[in-house]
Amino acid sequence: MSEKSYLAVDMGASSGRHVLGRFDGKTLNLEEVYRFENGPVEVGGSLYWNLLGQWTHVQNGLRAAGARRGGKVSSVGVDTWGVDFGLLGRNDELLGHPYHYRDARTNGIMERAFALVPREEIFRRSGLQFMQFNTLFQLLAMKHRDSPLLDAAETMLMMPDLFHWLLTGEKCNEMCEASTTQFYDPAAGDWACDLLEKFGLPTKILGRIAQPGTILGPLRTKLADEMGLSGMQVVLPGSHDTASAVMAVPAASKPGARPDWCYISLGTWALMGIESPRPVITAQVAGLNFTNEGGVGGATRLLKNITGLWLVQECRRAWNRSGENLHWEDLNRLCAAHQPLKSFVNPDAHDFLAPADMPEAIRGFCQRTGQTVPGDKGGVLRCALESIAMKFRQVLGYLEELSGGRIETIHLVGGGIQNKQLCQAAADACGRRVVAGPIEATATGNVMMQAVAAGDVASIAEAREVIRRSFSVEVYEPQSTAAWDEAYERFLKVEQSPV
């Protein structure tokens, strides 16, 4: 086949990027053609998506891609994180600015929810782990605040769906993203409308659910003419960024055999899990607070959300806000020079969701739990990274319980694998071989889903074979595991401490 190009618009927590994937029938090459800053905007004490600014960037990136490839880009797909959404009213009028999931309006909302519908029933219908910013709780918070936007809403579009609508005029809810709402029924493959009704929330706002690989159609005519992309189609990837990242895991499984690998999609969050052929909705899964999210090719991503490099990102932001100019290499140097395995935090503690000062939050947690309080930057960073690695070890044990066998290999994908210290710490803490790569996993999975939709690649398995041929990986073998074994007992005491 002649070379074809697909465009991934990947919106991460701190930046967005447009990545061109060029596929010649055998290997895939990626090229970043546009990048922009991405993050919430605070207005009146609330956090919002900067939707209009982001839409401008999406158009700028389309224009850059068209210029780079002479207008010959086959398709485009948008991915970002789950749970957040926008609302449209009559005549498809956008109602306000979409809230960002870190907005404080959902604080305490889960307790109110459980007073209306038991926690067990919510899990039984959704199979989703409980996090206060899940879409269900965001909508319930709007109801409790008597939001006029909820009354006026005719359509709810998850954020990638909203951008796909802006691109095409077509409205739908992509399945992987819908599965993060906590009112999608993974067993039925449809909305759990009766669950929403029990909360007194509107169901008319829910649209048709579409699978990854659905071709929505061409760009809006005016947009295509302005961008010079008249032949471009809009294709749904796994529009939840983790779904696209997991598609890019370069693992090979024997047909019919239980996979002996798990994945960690590593960035601001670390999503750690396995692929399952069907949802696993059991008391054990509920007790461990695991989640069943939609994956590409009909798979279920049985996983757990772990706070990832957010801890380190926020430390850097706090220090640079106070006048320093620390780059990522500076953080690595400071961390490497500090003594290992001294102190730990629970990365998923509420203390670290949105603290005003992350370094002080980490020190305060160590002090309250009777540990050595890290005094310098290197100690704070070492504490953060090693705590994340210990959390990986804990979740690995849970995954082996749920899958019924030993996991031999951990596949680390995503931009976070550039932190080599954390990659090695993951191998050491877990006592497992870690295979790191590709870095641009989300963009890779996004463009390969477009290639599958176009018929240029036959299947998800073949797409992973293309990825194995196209990208190198780095292997980390476990070292000094005895010291980590001893320290793990200390971590568990801290992790379970009621602070």
- The identity of residue 472, as a single letter, is S
Residue 307: closest CA among 348, 360, 359: 348
Residue 6 is given by DSSP the state E
Q: Nearest to residue 30, comparing CAs of 491, 455, 415? A: 415
> Annotated catalytic, 241?
yes
H helix runs in 288-344, sequence order: 310-321, 328-336
Number of C-alpha atoms within 13 angstroms, CB side, residue 341?
Answer: 16
Neighbours of 37 (CB within 10 A): 11
Query: Hey, what are 326's tokens?
Result: 């620390």
Q: How many residues does the chain have?
A: 499
Axis-axis angle for helices 377-403, 420-430 (nearest 10) = 50
* Alpha helices by DSSP H, 207-297: 221-227, 241-247, 283-287
Virtual torsion, Cα 440, 441, 444, 450, nearest 10 deg: -140
Using left for φ > 0, alpha for ψ between -120 and 50, and beta otherwise, residue 92 falls in left
Q: What is the DSSP string of 169-198?
A: S---EEHHHHTTSS-EETTTTEE-HHHHHH
Catalytic residue chosen out of the listed positions 103, 241, 348, 428:
241
CA 267/CA 415 separation, integer angstroms: 6
C-alpha span between 454 and 393 (Å, rounded): 39
User: In angstroms, rounded to a whole number, what is the distance separating the alpha carbons of residues 18 and 77?
Assistant: 10
Residue 94 structure tokens = 């956008």
Q: Taking the CA atoms of the chain, what radius of gyration do you get in angstroms?
A: 22
Q: Which residues contact 90 (CB under 8 A, 6 or more apart)?
A: 152, 154
443: nearest Cα among 77, 74, 62, 23: 77
Catalytic residue numbers, as ranges: 241
